[in-house]
Amino acid sequence: MTQFKPVKTNRIFEDVLVQLKEAILSERFKPGEKLPSERELSLEFQVSRGVIREAIRALELRGFVGVRQGPAGGAFVTDLTFNQVGNAFLDLFKTSKLSMKDIAQVRLHVEPEVARLAALNYNASHQDMLLKVERDEHVDYDSDADRIDRLTRVHKTLARICGNPFFEVIVRSMLMLTAEVVLTVASDHDLLHGPGEHVSIIHAVMAGDGDGAAREMARHLQQFSQNLIEMEKFYRQRYL
């Protein structure tokens, strides 16, 4: 057994959740590993199986575990990804704690700096990657979701090249939220953001021109961000 501390407070569910989450984050349980059964955990925490079930469900909703059914089932630790942060952004947006204006303001501060750092970190190994994501914007797409994915790959690639994983987390999270609004509201994605709009950014990055890359990214985001702010009104009227 893992020697969890028995829970003896008025916040039983929260305390169980905190201990289980800390066990996962400290890698006492590694990705792919199965947590002890409800019965085992209830005995160790000295709480009911209902409390354990509620804590496991909360871990599942937060992306820490995946629950499988059947004789070999149970709660298995997931490999945490950037999506956990993106889902949190999306939840905050849907509960009106974040607005598209907030996101646009942060993007205008963060993404030009990401482009600048990408230019400074650029080397020959990045060339094929950048040219490919630009070419992919012009390829026929399978669905609207595929279309949005292709049009955001440049932003994700620059965030990866910039060398700061926290910037990459922020950029990917903002793009996830942007995609939610665009896919829900926009009827013509080409009018909002067509292929080829990233060419000047890519050329500046490949030339090692940090200031130029930042300037081109800011220019690209200005009008696009204003469109998203307008789209948020329709999103909330129709779907929230």
Residue 187 confidence (pLDDT): 64
Residue 113 confidence (pLDDT): 98
Q: Which two tokens stand for residue 91?
A: 């939840």
How far apart, in whole angstroms, are the C-alpha atoms of residue 208 and residue 213?
Answer: 8
Q: What's the start-to-end Cα distance of the chain, in Å?
A: 45
Q: Which residues does the chain have with pLDDT short of 70?
A: 1-2, 7-10, 81-83, 186-192, 239-240
Q: Which two tokens stand for residue 237?
A: 């009227």
Residue 8 confidence (pLDDT): 63
How far apart, in whole angstroms, are the C-alpha atoms of residue 184 and residue 167?
Answer: 26
How far apart, in whole angstroms, are the C-alpha atoms of residue 66 and residue 76?
Answer: 5
Residue 134 confidence (pLDDT): 94
Crossing angle of helices 165-185 and 100-121, rounded to 10°? 130
How open is the CA angle 86-84-131, to the nearest 5 degrees?
Answer: 55
Parallel/antiparallel/unpaired status of strands 65-68 and 74-77: antiparallel
Residue 157, classified by CB atoms within 10 Å of its CB into exposed (0-12), middle (13-18) or buried (19+), is: buried
Residues 46-63 have pLDDT tens digits of 999 999 999 998 888 777
Report DSSP state, residue 35: P
**Sign for the pseudo-dihedral over CA of 97, 111, 160, 134:** positive
Nearest CA to 100 out of 174, 187, 190 is that of: 174
